[in-house]
A and B are shown apart, each in its own frame.
Chain A
């Protein structure tokens, strides 16, 4: 069993839809949770990061962490074609200079 599980998709939704991306993990010691967006042939771009359980909102993006269920989510509201990318969840025991454990990444396409 992988330490972090993420459905690779692909996921295709119409423009304007609400997108829900999820990851589950097995190591209860993870404290920091990140979502990265990666466009084709580019490095991952940090979208959201949270510490421990709770919600965090930034514009059209909302990140949720449920440590009791070992489950994290990223919601994208009013999705745009420019949101089409691969979304990677990542987590670590501590923040900063610490190894990240990544999910497999979900390929998302927003159709105009």
Chain B
């Protein structure tokens, strides 16, 4: 099945630094990927849709300048949390739809746990 890989799985950094999270589709190409944020014991909240070769589409209330998304190739999307602060600490997850003869459901990466001190 479709495999989506995320890296790193856990990152701890100081307030004010920028953190980059990678999302890769390992055995298929993904022109679209999705980025979610999840707080403890809550469901996934869609942040943005990443489109290969074009600008990302952000959900209402998500700061574009804070969460920079780049989808430079058909297998890689990156999310950069700029000037991170403790309130940005969360679990970030990406997903990509599989490919096949019929539209396939989305598959998720294992998430990145971000802790800002």
Query: Which residues of B, 85-104, contact A by the 8 Å Cβ criterion?
Result: 91, 93, 95, 97, 102-104
Contact of A43 among B6, B32, B102 (CB under 8 A): B6
Interface size class of B (residues with CB under 8 A): 20 to 34
Chain A residue at minimal CB-CB distance from B109: A43
Which of A8, A94, A102 contacts B44, CB < 8 Å?
A: A102
The answer to whether B42 has its CB under 8 Å from any CB of chain A is yes
Contact partners of B105 in chain A: CB under 8 A: 32, 34, 46, 49, 95-96
CA distance A41 to B6 in the complex (A): 13
Contact with B along A71-112 (1 / 0, CB 8 A): 000000000000000001000001111111011110100000
The answer to whether A43 touches B42 (Cβ under 8 A) is: no
- A-facing mask of B33-73, CB < 8 A → 1, else 0? 01000000111101001000000000000000000000000
Q: Is B113 part of the binding interface, using a Cβ–Cβ cutoff of 8 Å?
A: yes
Smallest Cβ distance from B8 to chain A, in angstroms?
13
**Which of A20-57 touch B at CB < 8 Å?**
32, 34, 36, 41-46, 49
B115 within 8 A of A: no
Contact call B106/A100, Cβ cutoff below 8 A:
yes
Are A44 and B108 closer than 8 Å at their CB atoms?
yes
Q: In the complex, what residues of A have CB within 8 A of residue B91's CB?
A: 41
Query: Can you name the residue of chain B whose Cβ is closest to the Cβ of A8?
Result: B41
CA distance A107 to B91 in the complex (A): 17
Q: A42 to B6: give the CA distance in the assembly, Å.
A: 11
> Could you write out 25 A-B pairs with CB less than 8 Å apart?
A34-B105, A34-B106, A41-B111, A42-B111, A43-B4, A43-B108, A44-B93, A45-B108, A46-B105, A46-B107, A49-B105, A88-B43, A95-B104, A96-B103, A96-B106, A97-B31, A97-B97, A98-B97, A99-B34, A100-B95, A102-B43, A102-B44, A103-B43, A104-B42, A107-B41
